[in-house]
A = this chain, B = another copy of it.
């Protein structure tokens, strides 16, 4: 709405401006006849005035040119998880240890992990110890944090 009004107002302004200038021309014409001004001065006056008018029109019309720049930020989402093989290889975790680590991160207790993997609680504890040693952490919560930071688990 506002844009359309603006467009129309510009056209109207142009029209009004043109009308005013035509009146000035007419007036100058009369003056020219009466006091016999030089034709070049008259033409120059028109030239200057309409040049100004043209500039003004152009400035009014070429107002809004938008340049939309889309700035993208990278995504680290839990859905499209990327496994960091390098980090994993450097840690030297075994398959079983990784398995335990993942279940750990899912909030399972040692007992639950043991049941899920059909091994004893003690086995899980042993895995945990090796795990913590390799990852250089003291607690399972730290192991989880580390693992997520290193992107070796989701």
Chain A interface residues toward B at CB < 8 A = 21, 25, 29, 39-40, 42-43, 46-59, 62-78, 80, 104-109, 137, 139-146, 148
Contact for A71 among B43, B71, B104, CB less than 8 A: B71
Q: Which of chain B's residues have a CB closer than 8 A to the CB of A59?
A: 58, 62
In whole Å, how far is A129's beta carbon from the nearest beta carbon of chain B?
17
Q: Which of chain B's residues have a CB closer than 8 A to the CB of A55?
A: 54-55, 57-58
The answer for the CA separation of A112 and B10 in the assembled complex, in Å, is 70
Q: Which of chain B's residues have a CB closer than 8 A to the CB of A56?
A: 54, 58
The answer for the CA separation of A76 and B66 in the assembled complex, in Å, is 28
Contact A71 B72 (CB under 8 A): yes
